[in-house]
């Protein structure tokens, strides 16, 4: 087929592929140990670092917020600590999804990260961080200090939030897979405020409905509150543009 006749075919194929994918996004692995900056598409937009261990629901939350599929959810525990930047050409926020935060346990590694963050240019820094903790892990917030998960949250995750706070990067504690309310949840919220006194707020969310036997036990909720709390922490000029492109969720 002559080249000029191929042009419409190519255009249709490209359009179909774009439609199938639904959005353009970057999966640039950003290693904690190298300080690789975010993709160029993330510059000039709101940037949120989403920190937490494997299985806490970070990618599910990001996927729901953006409103697009982000690939396979529920991968095995990673061996190397790093960050995967997730975003969309049509969404005003890019998210740095922490990978392998469990293995960043040594104080020297946290201190090293602090040095790298301090050296980032303004256009590469996250504007805020979501510190994600699974809400039904009551032992994390109230368990014994010797508990490995408690040690991680009070140590690594807490230290990460503190060091970013020292650098002027605010944080929100996000209780994932949370109930709508109740005494246990309120106790968790109160405990989170004690453990993370630097956090600007504690938000409980359930990104996807929790079901059993075809019945919805816990509906999707908290996304509206998370949006409002996130927007409030953005610089004013960026807040307006982000609010316009990040439509208010229905839950």
How many residues are there in the chain? 251
Residue by residue, DSSP assigns 201-239 as EEEE-BSS-EEETTEEEE--BSHHHHHHHHHHTS-HHHH
Give, in degrees to the nearest 5, the angle at Cα 63 between 60 and 69: 110
pLDDT one-digit tens code per residue, 18-43: 333 333 333 333 334 335 567 788 88
User: Hunting for tokens 């419409």 — which residue is that?
Assistant: 8
Q: Retrieve residue 122's tokens.
A: 């303004």
Lowest model confidence (mean pLDDT) among 102-111, 158-167, 170-179, 185-194: 102-111
The per-residue pLDDT for 175 is 93
* Mean pLDDT, range 156-184, rounded to an integer: 85
- Map out the domains of the chain as residue ranges: 24-245
Could you write out the DSSP letters of every residue in 111-144? HHHHHHHHHS-TTTS-SEEEEEEETT-HHHHHS-
Output the pLDDT for position 151: 57
CA dist 150 and 158 (Å) reads: 11
Crossing angle for the helix pair 107-119 and 158-166, to the nearest 10 degrees = 30
Q: Which residue has the higher pLDDT, 251 or 122?
A: 251
- Within 10 A of 88 (CB to CB), how many other CB atoms are there? 20
* Alpha-carbon separation of residue 154 from 116, 158, 160 (angstroms): 22, 5, 10
CB atoms within 10 A of CB 93: 24
CA distances from 184 to 165, 190, 248 (A): 28, 10, 28
CATH number (3.40.50.1240, 3.20.20.70, 3.40.50.300, 3.20.130.10) of 24-245 reads 3.40.50.300
Q: What pLDDT sits at residue 217?
A: 87
Distance between CA atoms of 179 and 233, rounded to whole angstroms? 25
Query: Could you read off the pLDDT of 230-242 as tens digits, one per residue?
Result: 999 999 999 999 9
Please enumerate in sequence order all residues whose Cβ is within 8 A of that of 42, keeping only pairs 6 or more positions apart, or say none: 26, 85, 87, 94
pLDDT at 179 over 80: yes
pTM greater than the 0.85 cutoff: no
Cα(228)–Cα(231) distance, integer angstroms: 5
With 0-12 CB in 10 A as exposed, 13-18 as middle and 19+ as buried, what is 161? buried
């Amino acid at each position: 087929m002559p080249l000029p006749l191929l042009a419409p075919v190519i255009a249709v194929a490209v359009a179909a592929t774009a439609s199938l994918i639904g959005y353009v996004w970057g999966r640039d692995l950003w290693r904690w140990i190298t300080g690789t900056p975010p993709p160029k598409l993330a510059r000039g937009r709101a940037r949120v670092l989403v920190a937490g261990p494997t299985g806490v629901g970070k990618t599910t939350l990001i996927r729901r917020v953006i409103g697009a599929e982000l690939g396979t959810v529920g991968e095995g525990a990673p061996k190397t600590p790093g960050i995967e930047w997730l975003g969309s050409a049509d969404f005003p926020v890019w998210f740095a999804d922490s990978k392998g935060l469990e293995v960043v346990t040594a104080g020297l590694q946290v201190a090293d990260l602090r040095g790298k963050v301090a050296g980032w240019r303004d256009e590469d820094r996250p504007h805020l961080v979501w510190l994600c903790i699974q809400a039904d892990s009551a032992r994390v917030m109230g368990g014994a200090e010797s508990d490995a998960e408690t040690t991680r949250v009070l140590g690594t995750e807490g230290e990460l939030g503190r060091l970013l706070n020292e650098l002027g990067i605010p944080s929100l504690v996000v209780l994932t897979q949370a109930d709508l309310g109740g005494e246990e949840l309120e106790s968790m919220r109160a405990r989170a405020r004690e453990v993370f006194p630097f956090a600007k707020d504690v938000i409980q969310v359930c990104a996807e409905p929790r079901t059993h036997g075809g019945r919805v036990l816990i509906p999707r909720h908290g996304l509206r509150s998370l949006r409002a709390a996130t927007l409030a922490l953005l610089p004013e000029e960026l807040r307006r543009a982000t609010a316009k492109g990040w439509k208010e969720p229905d839950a």
